[in-house]
Each structure stands twice: as C-alpha cells, then as structure tokens.
Amino acid sequence: MRKSWWKILSFVLLAYTIIGGFLLEVPRLPILNESIRNLYFHVCMWFGMMILFIISFIYSIKYLRTSSHLNDIFAEKFAAVGSIFGILGYATGTIWANYTWLSDQNQSLANVLKEPKLIGAAIALLIYGAYFVLRGSFTDIDKRARVSAVYNIFAFAMLFPSIWIIPRLVGSLHPGAPGSERGNPALNFNDIDSRLRMIFYPAVIGWTLLGVWIATIKIRLQLLKDKTLFNA
C-alpha cells in the first residue's frame, strides 16, 4: 500500500469517533436527547459528500483545462463515492427525523414531507444521479469526458443553493434554518458545543479520508480496466 499513513489515520479517527462518540458527555437538549450523537455520523456523511463533490468539481475543471483522461476518471469516481455518502446521509436523516420530528414534536407527515431541506437534498442527489446517466449515454470517450465535465460543474453549482441556501430562505425544521428555533433546539454551527466539536471535526476528517480511500481504489480499478482494454 502506497502512502498508507492517511489510511491508518482514517481508521484511528473513526475508532475515536465511535468510542468517544458513544461514551463522552454530550449537552442535554430537549427532544434530541441522546440522538445528538448522530451529529458524528449523519452530519459527517453530508460534510464528507460535499468535500468529495468539491474534489470532483476541481478535477472536472482540470479536465477541461488539460484534456487529460486521468482527470476525467478522478472526477467520476469522486462524484460516485460522494453520491453514496449523500444517499447514506439521506437514509440516516430519515431515521433521525422519524424520532425527533414525527414522534417527539408531533409534526404531521405532510409537514415533514414539505420540508425544504429534504426536497433540496433530493434534488441535489438526483442532479448528481443524472451525471452518471449522462456519462453512460455516450459511446465516444472524448465527448463523454467533455460533456460530463461541463455537466459536473453545473451539478456542483446547484448543490449549494439546493441544500444550504433555499432551506435557510424559506425556513425549515432542520437545525441551522430560521424556522427551527420554534420546536427544535437549534444546532447552530456557530455556537455548537465544544464537547461536540471535539469529536465532530475528527469524525468529518475520518469519514472523508475513508471516502477518498474508496475513491482511489475505484480509480485504480478503472485504470487497470482501461489498460487491459487498450492492450487487448
């Protein structure tokens, strides 16, 4: 294994996340109770997804500047792992919302389904889903790389408005939005408790490194496939 120190770092950070995340003290918040510990898992999925999408976006720009196929493969694989993180974030979010919004806050299902954060996240993930559909629909390698690099930049441009800006404008149940002070203890990242921060930041780094590791494996596999294709 080449350059393996960060792979070990990823494991150490995630082991710390699980041990510290379950055993260390957390602030006592109404409604959330112990589920605040989901911060180390659910929220980290979204942060990891954003970092992986940023890397993918950078490689798409690099492809358009250099036309090197390596950059195209990098962009695709980072976007793929980012999407998986996003789907995991969505799935964990539904579980968390079920217990904090539906059961404890007595929100109606209709209210939760109208939730702009959920719709925004779904739109963002579907836009990235279309990126893979688009890639699959080309037979010409150069055309595929160029068009999908341009599309990837568009997808990234839609990501931040749909998951960050719109929920804040229209108000939402999700912490960090203006509507959330009413029932939900606002989990504002400006005043997030230092006890949470001590595990949250290492957790984000750990999960992201794991995502990068999986992406590098996918990239190397793709390179091997391409090599056998060209040699055959």
Partner 1 sequence: MHKLIIRFMFIAGCLFLSCASFAQNKVEMADSMRSNGKIYVVVAVCLTILIGLFIYVFIIDKKISRFEKNKE
Least distance from partner 1 to the Cβ atom of residue 193, Å: 14
Least distance from partner 1 to the Cβ atom of residue 7, Å: 8
Distance CA 94, CA 54 (A): 25
Among 40, 95, 221, 232, binds partner 1 (CB under 8 A): 221
Among 44, 59, 140, 224, binds partner 1 (CB under 8 A): 224
Site for partner 1 in 15-44 (CB under 8 A): 15, 18-19, 22-23, 28-30, 33-34
Q: Which of 173, 154, 11, 208 is nearest to 93 (CA)?
A: 173
Least distance from partner 1 to the Cβ atom of residue 64, Å: 28
- Name which of 11 and 160 has its Cβ closer to partner 1: 11
Least distance from partner 1 to the Cβ atom of residue 204, Å: 16
- Name which of 157 and 221 has its Cβ closer to partner 1: 221
| Per-residue CA distances from 83 to 63, 95, 102, 127, 165 (Å) | 20, 19, 27, 10, 20
How many chain residues bind partner 1 (CB under 8 A)? 23
127 near 82, Cβ under 8 Å? no
Site for partner 1 in 180-219 (CB under 8 A): 210, 213-214, 217
Site for partner 1 in 80-99 (CB under 8 A): none
- Name which of 1 and 110 has its Cβ closer to partner 1: 1
**Chain contacts with partner 1 (rule: CB under 8 A):** 1-2, 7, 11, 14-15, 18-19, 22-23, 28-30, 33-34, 210, 213-214, 217, 220-221, 224, 227
